[in-house]
Structure 1
Amino acid sequence: MRTGFSIRAISAVLLASASLAGCATVPADTVASAPYADEDAYVASLVSRMSVERKVAQLIQPQINSFTAADMARYRFGSYLNGGNGGPYGDEFAPASEWLRLADEMYDASVQPLANGEPVIPTMWGTDAVHGHTNVVGATIFPHNVALGAANDPDLVRRIGHATAIEVEATGIDWDFSPTVAVAQDGRWGRAYESYSEDPARVAPLGAALVEGLQGRPGDADFLGDGRVIATAKHFFGDGGTTDGVDQGEVTGDIEALIALHGRPYPAAIDAGVQTVMASFNSINGAKMHGNGPLLTGVLRGRMGFDGLVVGDWNGHGQVQGCTVTNCPQSLLAGLDIYMVPDDWRGLMETLVAQVNDGTIPMARLDEAVSRVLHIKYRAGLLGPNAERPSERGVGGRFDLIGSAEHRALAREAVAASQVILRNDGVLPLRSGANVLVAGSAADNVGQASGGWTLEWQGSTEYGDDRLPNTTSIWDGLRDAVTASGGRATLSADGSFTARPAVAVVVFGEKPYAEFAGDTRDLAFRDEEGLNLLRSFREQGIPTVAVFLSGRPMWMNREMNLANAFVASWLPGSEGAGVADVLTGAVPATGRLSFGWPNDCNGGPIARTNRALFPLGYGLATGQTSAMPMLGEGCTALLEGTGTALFGSGRLADGVTVRAGDGSSFSLLRGTATDGSVTARGFDRNAQEDAREIAMRAGSQIAFVEPQGSGNAYRLTYEVLTRPTAPVTLVTGTEGGATSTLDVTQHFAHAEGKGFREMLITDACVGQLGNLFALRTASNLTFRIAGMERIEVAEGTTCAF
């Protein structure tokens, strides 16, 4: 049983008996006179007997895909994480029992006795449970923060935090990298859905509420106790204010004004007892946050009074000027306490040890950082004589709590509370007993309704019931609600029907995405499936309700002009019945915009400008109607087209498919072909998984297929890792039709080991460019791809490698 710990009060009994590998007992009389000093004394006694190597190891956080339990036993990492696409034993879709098994295995490895009386320090596991414990199959999928901001109910968010903590702890994980308290100012940012609002006055109390839900309230008996996990306020700071909404970009302006806007949620989180803060990728006035001492130390610790630990983001220290992923004392000196170094942990450990030994890093700074890590472990009950294996602490192993009926009911409540009705001519709520047609490919797709950070980092629309068990799509919810009212509901993705409906509900929206892959250059919504369905129903005189799934407000004037009602449904997650609750009037519509809704498609900040079609706080109540004037449909961005990128920033363009020779599909350019002939995995070139590493067996093929080809050349950014020993052939043309081939064996052999290069393939060289680009190899071949696009070049331009 794990008990709760107050930040400023530790059990005298626990401290009096505390010992690890010969640790001296803290005198009980000291406890009574100065309880917090006793925690300091206990931690100091451990740090004083740790070697430099063990101290540095406490500051190293690798991902589970890059080390083993044997590595843990040897190096004793202070913490570790699973990346967005990482799962136990290489299986990102592993059952909850496997997550717990790995947690126990790593814990056991971390507490093996050490020589020379050196203290044993248990490790801890961190995860991104940003809208529920959504890395795990079967977990409850809560709405993303953009939706919870529209609900604007701190108590609801607090209960969601507690439910999430229970599910996280059930799998043996100790630490949640949540909440995101970004104050997003530009919807073009691909992480906008992780922000509660553009208004810091709304973000601050909601972020604090999630902290309290995850950890419990300071001073309460269950603070950091059973069913609670360590919380993280992120990303300090300014992540939602970058120029043009570019992820990991630059934030500029008067520093006090920036702190007042983007820093405002942090004091609230600190007052709520948050134990960790994650540094941001972005720069502030030219200085990367992972190396920004005046802000990490001066503002966060000095002005705001934060006494917990600061953890880095995925290789973020490597972006600091003068640093690499394996060499960056600047971050530690600036105030970072834990380096998140997913793969290159060994090299970073070696350089940090050497830099402590040669005086580059003062021993006092090292001890300070290590002490912060140990304090958090102590407060969370992970360090001390009563510490237990993950499966034995709290609700560890209670898999019945993962995706429980109670948690799913809470998620349904949150979905209903977050729906925002923007337009309504009276068609809502749906009339009891009506014949309702439910259209759109998203209507029966929980993966699309859940968005990014769902099982996989970027999410997917291709999950089946085996990946998303016991979930309810929007169609499921509407079917049940309409039928219960005596009506009839029919699902028709393409909008066809035999019996004329009284009303059509059209569900459409953005495909899933996550950070940087979700960045857009404007707010024009180009997928016209919903637009065409609404137009078709309008032409047939059938009233419509548009249900828009998105991680941000977008320019929807065309769709709003065609719909009789328009609902911003955000990314509701696993409980689509909550959408039906509001559409049918079973639950009052109380959601109100936490971001202004744009009247143009250009992007950029909308807050405090006259560019909002609907302002912050807008939303219609159940049964309330609105004026339905025609909106302007001019959008220059639409005339510019979608560009020619087929793959870039770690993401395939919409409509592009990738298949192996056996027909296996790679929807995210990740995974393994059914016959094992081709494997594609994420690779960090300039950012997390912004490239792919593709391994092909002899006799295999991988093909990129566009919806339709445009442009007379392909440009590929690639790197060859293994020299081919047999022919490699490039194939272009049309799938199932005429093709042209080009022998590229010598080009690939020459490129081996020379880093990333560009390949230009033109019609002058291959004779025919259609919508197919494929590689076939007669020998084993491994290469990387960072970008692929279709471009126009001058007539007669030759191929280049």
Structure 2
Amino acid sequence: MPPYYNSIIRGVSTVMVSYSSWNGVKMHANHFLVTDFLKNKLKFRGFVISDWEGIDRITTPPHANYSYSIEAGVGAGIDMIMVPFRYTEFIDDLTTQVQNKVIPMSRIDDAVYRILRVKFTMGLFENPYPDSSLAGELGKQEHRELAREAVRKSLVLLKNGKSSYAPLLPLPKKAGKILVAGSHANDLGNQCGGWTITWQGSSGNTTAGTTILSGIEATVDPSTQVVYSESPDSGVLADKYDYAIVVVGEPPYAETFGDNLNLTIPAPGPSVIQSVCGAAKCVVVLISGRPLVVEPYLGDMDALVAAWLPGSEGQGVADVLFGDYGFTGKLPRTWFKSVDQLPMNVGDAHYDPLFPFGFGLTTKGTK
């Protein structure tokens, strides 16, 4: 809880409740966590908002007992309810429950007080519209430089060389010919993931930024020939390369659309890894929002980098691959060998991960 507590101390104004459950209790109905802990113990003074149709999902199936869901959600301490469709039903039912004293007026007063306090603090009654001049601040170079720095610091080096005595990284900028391959090497949408432009995001160069391929091309020596093939065939692989960079991973997704019981690298990622790494020394850069099954291919790779979702500034990946900056990132969670091990946490009796929590190899940078 320390990061959450620190944000509350610094004055965060809103907290959204998740769809998840804790010890079998839906978070949207969890009075202990929302009111007793967040509001009373942590002294949160802002307002709590539901997720999209969050109170509907208190029951299974959703909306099966809406009156109960309204009572449970508002009673748990949710101050603002996100009701995208059945808002008249919500208003009528809530009004009836307050009139019948099922939901006390004091709970409504508390919610209104919290919401108005945030709005007054933000000056929304004096200036209800955003400052249109701030639109020009979006995507400024200084912001992109900060995003690029975040990429550099978040990369986690999981393998570097088939032996500790022969590291592959950092890669030399000056080489005869190098190969860049994989579905995520030249795709901003894949780098950014879900909630980018649209809810689920999408593959393709849907926004402004730098792909990892572009970052590589801008970093290597002008004399280095960069060959790019998303899925190289035997003809491409027949050439001689000083090394190869394979960038593969998950497609964009958000929320339940990302549910996956297998957590495997989507095709053709595995075959690209095996074919390219069988033809040249290779580093695999994995783009994903979570650990994926990589053990079957780990022996084929010379190096492996978890890049997570680097966003629009793919140049940050190249900054570290080629040694301008060193690898410093550490795993924020345990990396499993197979999904059969899940759930797996530090301290488990049979804790046998592929890479433990906090793992991350380091290299030195030149800058």
TM-score range, shorter chain: 0.7 to 0.9
Question: Looking at both structures, which has the greater relative contact order when contacts are Cα pairs under 8 Å and sequence separation is at least 6?
Answer: 2
Residues 193 and 311, structure 2, Cα contact 8 Å, conserved in 1: yes
1:449 aligns with 2:186: no
Q: May I ask how many residue pairs the two structures share in their alignment?
A: 349
1:492 aligns with 2:229: yes
- Aligned counterpart, 1:362: 104
- Aligned counterpart, 1:584: 322
Query: What is the TM-score when the length of structure 1 is the normalising length?
Result: 0.42
Partner Cα distance (1:325, 1:415) in 2: 46
- Aligned counterpart, 1:288: 26
Structure 1 residue corresponding to 2:309, chosen from 549, 571, 596: 571
> Once the two structures are superposed, what CA deviation does each residue of 1:717-760 show, in whole Å capped at 9, x if it has no partner?
xxxxxxxxxxxxxxxxxxxxxxxxxxxxxxxxxxxxxxxxxxxx
- Aligned counterpart, 1:683: none
Residues 327 and 348, structure 1, Cα contact 8 Å, conserved in 2: no
- Aligned counterpart, 1:478: 216
- Aligned counterpart, 1:659: none
The Cα of 1:526 is off from its aligned counterpart by: 4.7
- Aligned counterpart, 2:164: none
The Cα of 1:603 is off from its aligned counterpart by: 4.9
The Cα of 1:269 is off from its aligned counterpart by: 2.4
For 1:399, give the aligned amino acid: A
- Aligned counterpart, 2:260: 520
> Once the two structures are superposed, what CA deviation does each residue of 1:190-220 show, in whole Å capped at 9, x if it has no partner?
xxxxxxxxxx6xxx34xxxxxxxxxxxxxxx
- Aligned counterpart, 1:509: 249
Partner Cα distance (1:299, 1:436) in 2: 55
Question: What's the RMSD between the two structures over aligned residues?
Answer: 2.2
Partner Cα distance (1:537, 1:282) in 2: 40
Residues 623 and 537 from structure 1, CA distance in 2 versus in 1: closer, same or farther, beyond 3 angstroms? farther
> Once the two structures are superposed, what CA deviation does each residue of 1:78-113 show, in whole Å capped at 9, x if it has no partner?
xxxxxxxxxxxxxxxxxxxxxxxxxxxxxxxxxxxx
The Cα of 1:527 is off from its aligned counterpart by: 2.5
> Once the two structures are superposed, what CA deviation does each residue of 1:667-719 show, in whole Å capped at 9, x if it has no partner?
xxxxxxxxxxxxxxxxxxxxxxxxxxxxxxxxxxxxxxxxxxxxxxxxxxxxx
1:427 aligns with 2:164: no
1:310 aligns with 2:48: yes
Gaps in structure 1 of 5+ consecutive residues: 1-199, 206-264, 625-801
1:529 aligns with 2:265: no
The Cα of 1:589 is off from its aligned counterpart by: 1.1
For 2:169, give the aligned amino acid: L
Residues 531 and 558, structure 1, Cα contact 8 Å, conserved in 2: no
Residues 593 and 437 from structure 1, CA distance in 2 versus in 1: closer, same or farther, beyond 3 angstroms? same
Residues 293 and 478 from structure 1, CA distance in 2 versus in 1: closer, same or farther, beyond 3 angstroms? same
Gaps in structure 2 of 5+ consecutive residues: 162-166
SS of the residue 1:305 aligns to: coil
For 1:280, give the aligned amino acid: S
The Cα of 1:444 is off from its aligned counterpart by: 0.3
Residues 326 and 348 from structure 1, CA distance in 2 versus in 1: closer, same or farther, beyond 3 angstroms? farther
Residues 231 and 272, structure 2, Cα contact 8 Å, conserved in 1: yes
Partner Cα distance (1:379, 1:528) in 2: 50
Partner Cα distance (1:529, 1:513) in 2: 18
For 2:135, give the aligned amino acid: F
> Once the two structures are superposed, what CA deviation does each residue of 1:60-93 show, in whole Å capped at 9, x if it has no partner?
xxxxxxxxxxxxxxxxxxxxxxxxxxxxxxxxxx
For 1:279, give the aligned amino acid: V
Residues 567 and 348 from structure 1, CA distance in 2 versus in 1: closer, same or farther, beyond 3 angstroms? same
Residues 539 and 615 from structure 1, CA distance in 2 versus in 1: closer, same or farther, beyond 3 angstroms? closer
Partner Cα distance (1:344, 1:326) in 2: 15
The Cα of 1:400 is off from its aligned counterpart by: 2.0
Structure 2 residue corresponding to 1:397, chosen from 104, 126, 133: 133
The Cα of 1:367 is off from its aligned counterpart by: 1.6
Residues 194 and 253, structure 2, Cα contact 8 Å, conserved in 1: yes
1:416 aligns with 2:164: no
> Once the two structures are superposed, what CA deviation does each residue of 1:446-500 show, in whole Å capped at 9, x if it has no partner?
1111111111211111x34xx313x10000000111145x422121112243752
For 1:371, give the aligned amino acid: Y
Residues 438 and 475, structure 1, Cα contact 8 Å, conserved in 2: yes
Residue identity (%): 38
- Structure exhibiting the larger radius of gyration computed from Cα positions: 1
Residues 317 and 323, structure 1, Cα contact 8 Å, conserved in 2: no
> Once the two structures are superposed, what CA deviation does each residue of 1:618-642 show, in whole Å capped at 9, x if it has no partner?
1112269xxxxxxxxxxxxxxxxxx
Residues 433 and 488, structure 1, Cα contact 8 Å, conserved in 2: no
SS of the residue 1:301 aligns to: helix
Residues 189 and 202, structure 2, Cα contact 8 Å, conserved in 1: yes
Residues 286 and 593 from structure 1, CA distance in 2 versus in 1: closer, same or farther, beyond 3 angstroms? closer
Residues 537 and 282 from structure 1, CA distance in 2 versus in 1: closer, same or farther, beyond 3 angstroms? closer
Residues 565 and 295 from structure 1, CA distance in 2 versus in 1: closer, same or farther, beyond 3 angstroms? closer
1:331 aligns with 2:68: no
SS of the residue 1:563 aligns to: coil
